[in-house]
Amino acid sequence: MDWSTLTGSSTTSGAIARWLNKSDLSSGPSGDADLILQEATGWIYARLRHWQMLTAPISGTMVAGGTGDRIAVPTDMLEPDFLMIAGVVGGTFYQQELRQRQPNEIYRAWSYDGSGNRVQQQPMLYSFNQSYIQLDSVPDFAYPYVQTYYQQPAPLGGNNLTNFLTTFYPRLVRTTCMMMGAEYVKENAQGSYDRTYWAQQAQIELEAAQAQSGRARRGAVGSAIIGEVALAGYGGW
């Protein structure tokens, strides 16, 4: 399974047009089949948090003072995963995982001096919005940090024929394309293979892929924070 096959004409084995039995479904870049495929993969990416979507650790350096309490959100970030201060500043080694909290909790944690200026100190918490990973404190030093996040995969197309979905989860791609395709050709509630059927099948495949990712990470140990008490436990999905 790849982009060329999926967006091919109805005479192409495995094409969306062939599965929908719609010979008038336009093929190729920006065609009807391509539109269906992009909506299908978008539906998957909005719901799936698979280990194959996790970035490797990305290094950066915070800015001391001023607006240094903001780290730009990567343009391909779906969801943050991990943020930690780690490195040497002025001869001292720092290592501190930053905990994610609700945005309003971060704003309420801001502290000020007698002149109304933000107090500069080592950040401990963060939240995020459409523009920034927002820290609870203005850094007093240029702390090195590492972060990981769930990354929006590059769109399938003529220069990117496959990805981990088409390689490992072709059934998930197929059922989601058929769900979107049934909606596109207005075949809703018309027989055994209407949009409701394909929506159910897509959800089953999505949950299976998520469960497989969870098993792959079964060795991870997580913790649930309840108030100020950390309860150690199993870290699967």
> Rounded distance, CA 136 to CA 228, Å?
17
Beta-sheet pairing, 92-97 with 77-89: antiparallel
Average pLDDT over residues 60-73: 94
What pLDDT score was predicted for residue 30? 87
> Domain boundary at 108, 142, 176, which?
142
What confidence category does residue 140 fall into, taking pLDDT thresholds of 50, 70 and 90?
Answer: very high
Together in a domain, 124 and 166? no
Which residue, chain included where needed, has tokens 């001023």? 66
- pLDDT tens, 182-207? 888 775 555 556 888 899 999 999 99
Q: Give the three-state DSSP class for 119.
A: coil
The token duo for 230 is: 């950390």
Together in a domain, 126 and 11? no
- pLDDT tens, 37-49? 999 999 999 999 9
Q: Measured between alpha carbons, how far is residue 179 from residues 31, 129, 235 in Å?
A: 17, 31, 33
More confident: 211 or 226: 211
Together in a domain, 133 and 84? yes
Q: How many structural domains are present in the chain?
A: 2
The rounded mean pLDDT for the chain is 88
Together in a domain, 68 and 131? yes
Question: 232 pLDDT exceeds 70?
Answer: no
What pLDDT score was predicted for residue 170? 96
Question: 151 pLDDT exceeds 60?
Answer: yes
What confidence category does residue 62 fall into, taking pLDDT thresholds of 50, 70 and 90?
Answer: very high
Residue 56 placed within a domain: no
Domain, as residue range, for 119: 63-142
**Nearest to 81, CA basis, from 147, 152, 153:** 147
Average pLDDT over residues 170-183: 93
The number of helix segments (H) and strand segments (E) in the chain equals 7, 10
The CB-side HSE value for 49 (13 A sphere, CA atoms) comes to 12
Together in a domain, 108 and 166? no
Together in a domain, 70 and 138? yes
Question: 216 pLDDT exceeds 50?
Answer: yes
What confidence category does residue 215 fall into, taking pLDDT thresholds of 50, 70 and 90?
Answer: confident
- pLDDT tens, 114-137? 999 999 999 999 999 999 999 999
What pLDDT score was predicted for residue 116? 92
Q: Among residues of the chain, what percentage have pLDDT more than 90?
A: 75
Average pLDDT over residues 33-58: 95
What pLDDT score was predicted for residue 196? 85
Together in a domain, 42 and 158? yes
Together in a domain, 45 and 97? no
Q: What is the DSSP string of 137-200?
A: SB-SS--EEEEEEEE-PPPPBTTB---HHHHH-HHHHHHHHHHHHHHHTT--SSSTTSHHHHHH
